[in-house]
Structure 1
Amino acid sequence: MPVFLKLAQIRFPIGAIASIAHRVSGVLLFIALPVVAVLLDTSLRDEAGFASVRDLISSPLAVVAAGVLVWALVHHVLAGIRHLLMDVGIGGELERARASARLVLIAAPALAVFLLFWGLS
């Protein structure tokens, strides 16, 4: 007899959400790396290249993309530190693991917004 999963009703533990977001952020960073390298190379070639990259990254869509990439970087670093600490036996107890997952999920977007606005000013 087939079983139909109701995906909207599945509730992941907070640690699973942090772990999945860690993987997603790593994939986003991996995909963005060649694009960022090309943009950097173009901006360093000459003044016209710099101006074209500056115009490209000043668009609203680019600011949103930069925000996502800043979040991905911050989340990946914080979640990576969390995983490394748990690997050496620090914070592996259930309540501490849940608390650190919540901390990463709250701190990463907050730090990303701060860094993005600080960088734009």
Structure 2
Amino acid sequence: MADTSKKRPVHRNIHVSDIVSYRLPPAGIVSILHRISGAVMFLLMPLFVWLFDTSVSSEVSYESFTAAFTGGIGFVPGLLVKVVVLGLIWAYLVHFIAGVRHLWMDATHSVTKEQGKSSAVLTLGLSSLLTVLLGAKLFGLF
């Protein structure tokens, strides 16, 4: 009688050098981006609070707020301010949409592999599209 069983793959911890060749599923990418975006938002919270406070305090402070995007802040050029704000926009959108995804999966108990993959792809696509649109608005393309 022939042995028809296939050899099962051996799963082990990956080494740092294997990260480049390791293929992570979309749900894993969304999970990691959710954590990274949360950390980015936490680290940029002082900038976010300053931007919000400056934008709503008065008309004069609003003018300094808009001047930060054109002339910069101190020695930091305006382009770098826009890039940092774009990073904050990306972090918020990824974190928000991935959070809604997690809440939806928890509420509906939809944890199949196919639904996880499709919702992860939708999360990545929607957050990327919104980031590009808001980035185009931030950089004055429309």
Q: Structure 2-normalised TM-score? A: 0.71
Per the alignment, residue 70 of structure 1 pairs with 89
Which structure shows the higher helix fraction?
Answer: 1
Unaligned ranges ≥5, structure 2: 1-13, 71-77
Q: Do structure 1's residue 8 and structure 2's residue 20 form an aligned pair?
A: yes
Q: Determine the structure 1 residue equivalent to 2:122.
A: 103
Number of aligned residues: 118
Cα distance, 1:90 vs. partner? 4.3
Taking the aligned partners of 2:110 and 2:69, their CA distance within structure 1 comes to 40
Structure with bigger RCO (C-alpha 8 Å, 6+ apart): 1
Residue 22 of structure 1, aligned match among 9, 12, 34: 34
Q: Secondary structure at the match of 1:12?
A: coil
Instruction: List structure 1 segments (4+ residues) > 6 angstroms apart after TM superposition.
Output: none
User: Partner letter of residue 27 of structure 1?
Assistant: A
Gaps in structure 1 of 5+ consecutive residues: none
Flag the structure with larger Rg. Answer: 2
Partner of 2:75: none
Matched-pair identity in %:
31
TM-aligned CA deviation for residue 34 of structure 1:
1.6
Normalising by structure 1, we get a TM-score of 0.81
- For the aligned residue pairs, the C-alpha RMSD in angstroms reads 2.2
